[in-house]
Structure 1
Amino acid sequence: MSHELVGLIGLDREEVTELKARVECRLVSFDMMPKVQLRDQHLYLARFGTWDWVGPVTKVVFHGIFEDDLPGIAALALWGGQCLPSASGLLDCRPRIANMARVRRVSRFATLPRSYTDAETTFRTDTPSVAKWGEWHCGVGKERFTGEWTAQEPSLIEPFIEGEAVRVTAIGDTLFQLRLGGDDWKKSIHHAGADFVPLNSDLAADMRHLRDHFDLAVCAADYIIAADGNPHLLELNHVPNVTQFPAIRSAYLDLAAQWIAEPPAVSPVLPIGHF
């Protein structure tokens, strides 16, 4: 067995069990965001409520969204070790508003005008709109309105577009397109009406561009295809659902197992001091 120690952060128990059966190295799993410590250029992780540091950790597989996880993600990026997907990409895309500001400069289909309003302010518009706030995604922190809307948190405002909601998920080089389902204007991968649809070549190219730009081997982009046939990017998901559909789950576990099994990249030891 390899002497590598790989940290799994956020994966469900079933996926952890399957990966343990498929790789020949030590795995340590955390269902919640662990404490993170960098010491002598090495990464150590510990469960909340304990001071039992585990490490040095050689690689990290990260697949979770947690409250107040941004400092830990920033620490992983500062560490600079091997992370699936890259910690720098996770850091770029974790904060919803900053994510959209960055994505608008990359995606071909992010031309919808976005507005912003600060916490405890009232926004007025005659255009049917959607307000988005918070960091949870999955339909949480969204409200449709026309007229006045009062924000409790910093919020994005975007025009409401009628159309078909789709998601393009990247699992490494493999892409899947899903039609999202819902009983109202909110659409989700979890709805019974969600299903695979043929991959649109333009959306596939856009997804690959986003994936490569942000160095996110695992990610998903949500689009709304308007009545005129034009797609509009709604958001880039840095931690998309990978367990709802067996084909996506299988592709994800294949990618993770292969990535874990690859020999670790050798990172140069940086000199200590000021030059």
Structure 2
Amino acid sequence: MKQDYNRIALVGIEQEEYDTIKASYSGHIIWHQSIPKIIVKEEVLYMEKANGIGMLPVDKVVYYGIYDNDFDFISGLAIWKGACYPNAAAMLDCRFKIPCLVKALSLSRFSAPRGFISAGASINVTEDTVAKWGNWHCGENKHRFTGEWESEFTATTEPYYEGEAVRIMMIGDRYWQIKLEGDTWLKSIHPDSAGFMAVNPDLLADTLHIKNTLQMDMIGNDYIVAKDGSKYLLEVNHIPNITRFEEVRQVYLETIMEWIK
């Protein structure tokens, strides 16, 4: 039978956030900045110690980060069905970018048709087009082209939308709209000029619908708002950046501590 343990695991949490959580939590913490080995046995999750040999049972897991090899780890958490933040099954559904996009586009008011190209295939287009591949964000693995292009990877394609790039970010029931910036057509949350802006109620409602339907605890949806007011969902971030803005970071830590306790 599953038992309760006064032990939490923090996986992927950075030092500063770990120190804050540790200062507010009197129980035992296992802290890993990379993906640990785990075992699920008789509905109990066992995780390797941060130091030393062996595994210990864990009551709750807080996971933050994106790693090359994290899909199997998240799968194990989902099989466990224990207390995990964010929801492990939702993370599993959204970890791979293309399947997550398919789900999100079926839910969004602001979906637009996408194209698809297999690795090694060539495509010829007459309009300004963007190809996206892989499972990373932050402006990586994107290529803008017109004419013929051969893709080295399996990719989606979409029209290039001229307009303002924004992110609706939610942690629990707290939310922000962030104007994405960058020196080129690639926009992200990281440039110094990126910052908060007034929240568009339509984009907020769209993000909330996707978040609730996919049962996500946190989400970052990227949209383009065109000059004519048209809106387009670009992608879903299942682990949005929480350290770029101090206000967001504080809300994240408050949410985590309330959830742990």
TM-score normalised by length of structure 2: 0.95
User: Do 1:3 and 1:25's aligned partners in 2 also have CA atoms closer than 8 Å?
Assistant: no
Corresponding residue number in structure 2 for 1:98: 99
2 CA distance for matches of 1:41 and 1:3? 13
Matched letter for residue 77 of structure 1:
A
Corresponding residue number in structure 1 for 2:224: 224
User: Do 2:5 and 2:59's aligned partners in 1 also have CA atoms closer than 8 Å?
Assistant: no
Q: 1:53 to 1:158 in 2, by over 3 A?
A: farther
Equivalent residues in 2 for 1:207-246 (5 A)? 207-246=207-246
**SS of aligned partner of 1:44:** strand
Task: Note the C-alpha offset of 1:36.
Answer: 2.4
| CA shift digits 1:130-183 (9 cap, x unpaired) | 111111111111111111121111111111100000001101100011001100
Corresponding residue number in structure 1 for 2:44: 42
Where structure 2 has 5 or more consecutive residues not aligned to the other structure, the ranges are none
TM-score normalised by length of structure 1: 0.90
2 CA distance for matches of 1:182 and 1:132? 18
Where structure 1 has 5 or more consecutive residues not aligned to the other structure, the ranges are 262-275
| CA shift digits 1:18-69 (9 cap, x unpaired) | 0111123222111112222212221122379x99343211111111100021
Matched letter for residue 80 of structure 1:
K
**Out of 10, 13, 30, which is 2:12 matched to?**
10
| CA shift digits 1:76-121 (9 cap, x unpaired) | 11111111110011001000111111111112212x1111111111
**SS of aligned partner of 2:107:** coil
**Out of 19, 25, 28, which is 1:26 matched to?**
28
2 CA distance for matches of 1:166 and 1:66? 25
> Once the two structures are aligned, what percentage of the paired residues are identical?
39
Matched letter for residue 190 of structure 1:
H
1 CA distance for matches of 2:58 and 2:173? 26
2 CA distance for matches of 1:113 and 1:3? 48
Root mean square deviation of aligned Cα:
1.6
Task: Note the C-alpha offset of 1:72.
Answer: 1.0
